[in-house]
């Protein structure tokens, strides 16, 4: 098959069951009219339907609380918010500031990858428990393979101040008692007995709560993609009022450099 023939069927033709716009008439999402059937949904309920196909006011409200309590901190020292604040003092735009902050939110240690990784871990751990493995065996194999467990451990400080308010809110919705959240706390109890002394962080709590509601790792990832926006935007707005180029400048005299003894050879 030639390249031409491979893509010929897509020329001026995109088939989708996700939705579309009929100019002057209607808009559809997953078979429902946005204008007449989804018009009274909240924005988070709409996003849930778009990302997962599920219509649940409870899950949408739970996710909305996660965005507020867990991810949208208006502190420019936080790694992704630094991009937004820097954009403000560079006199860039709010869209570029938000897009830049979101781009670096897909980090390995912070943000979206731990969220997806923790959800994946709980599903795999539960499956292995059903097959007869012990929790100790599962955690030890995880540590051996990845040298860490997504959702456990936190830099700077071991305690996560977001867990208690998030759990309180979840319980107010009737959540917080499922098998995955119980598993999350069981993992923490085991890790605290090891030399690592890892405590649970908020990624594990959110992952377990949403796993108990049936969301997959990919579902959670898609729902959390914009979760840091409400923390990045205040940092951009605040920085706009500061002197241009004033975000965390560093004078040359503070840089201790011994020079370069030779060229570093990078692997191809």
In a domain, 231, yes or no: no
Give the tokens for residue 143. 């540590």
Strand partners, 21: 27
Contact 171, 192 (CB under 8 A): no
User: Which pLDDT score is estimated for 1?
Assistant: 60
On the question of pLDDT at 26 being above 80, the answer is yes
Confirm whether 250 is domain-assigned. no
- Estimate to the nearest angstrom the gap between the alpha carbon of 24 and the chain centroid: 36
Give the full edge-to-edge strand order of the sheet including 32-33: 19-22, 26-29, 32-33
Residue 2 pLDDT > 80: no
Q: What is the arithmetic mean of pLDDT over 5-13?
A: 88
Q: Is 8 contained in some domain? A: no
211 belongs to a structural domain: yes
φ, ψ for residue 227, nearest 5 deg? -65, -25
Q: What is the pLDDT of residues 96-111, one digit of tens each?
A: 999 999 999 988 888 8
The enclosing domain of 177 has a CATH number of: 1.10.230.10
Q: Is the pLDDT of residue 265 over 80?
A: no
Q: What's the pLDDT at 180?
A: 99
Is the pLDDT at 238 greater than 80? The verdict is yes
The answer to the question of residue 252 being in a domain is no
The number of domains in the chain is: 2
Check pLDDT > 80 for residue 261.
no
Residue reference for tokens 């993992």? 187
Q: Which two tokens stand for residue 253?
A: 């005299």
Domain match, 141 and 38 both: no
> Which of residues 257 and 66 earns the better pLDDT score?
66
- Distance CA(35)–CA(178), nearest Å, equals 36
| Res 4 pLDDT > 80 | no
Across the chain, where does the E strand assignment appear?
19-22, 26-29, 32-33
Residue-range definition of the domain harbouring residue 36: 19-55
Closest CA to 83 of 241, 243, 251, 239: 239
Residue 257 lies in a domain: no
Do residues 117 and 29 both lie within one domain?
no
**Residue 93 domain flag:** no
Look at residue 3 in the predicted model and tell me its pLDDT.
63
């Amino acid at each position: 098959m030639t390249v031409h023939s491979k893509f010929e069927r897509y020329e001026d033709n995109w088939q989708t069951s996700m939705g579309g716009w009929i100019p002057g008439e209607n808009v559809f999402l997953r078979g429902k009219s946005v204008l007449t059937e989804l018009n009274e949904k909240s924005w988070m309920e709409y996003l849930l339907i778009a990302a997962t196909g599920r219509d649940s006011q409870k899950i949408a409200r739970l996710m909305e609380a996660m965005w507020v309590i867990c991810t949208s901190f208006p502190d420019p020292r936080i790694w992704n918010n630094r991009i937004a604040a820097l954009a403000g003092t560079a006199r860039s735009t709010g869209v570029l500031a938000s897009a830049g902050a979101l781009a670096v939110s897909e980090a390995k240690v912070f943000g979206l990858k731990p969220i997806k990784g923790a959800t994946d871990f709980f599903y795999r751990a539960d499956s292995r428990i059903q097959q007869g493995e012990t929790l100790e065996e599962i955690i030890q194999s995880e540590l051996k393979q990845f040298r860490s467990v997504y959702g456990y451990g936190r830099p700077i400080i071991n305690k996560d101040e977001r867990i208690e308010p998030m759990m309180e809110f979840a319980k107010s919705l009737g959540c917080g008692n499922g098998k995955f959240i119980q598993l999350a706390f069981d993992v923490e109890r085991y890790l605290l007995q090891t030399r690592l002394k890892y405590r649970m962080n908020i990624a594990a709590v959110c992952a377990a709560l949403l796993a108990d509601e049936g969301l997959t790792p990919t579902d959670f990832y898609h729902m959390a993609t914009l979760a840091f926006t409400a923390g990045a935007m205040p940092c951009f707005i605040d920085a706009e009022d500061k002197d241009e180029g004033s975000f965390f400048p560093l004078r040359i005299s503070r840089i201790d450099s011994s020079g370069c003894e030779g060229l570093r050879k990078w692997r191809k």
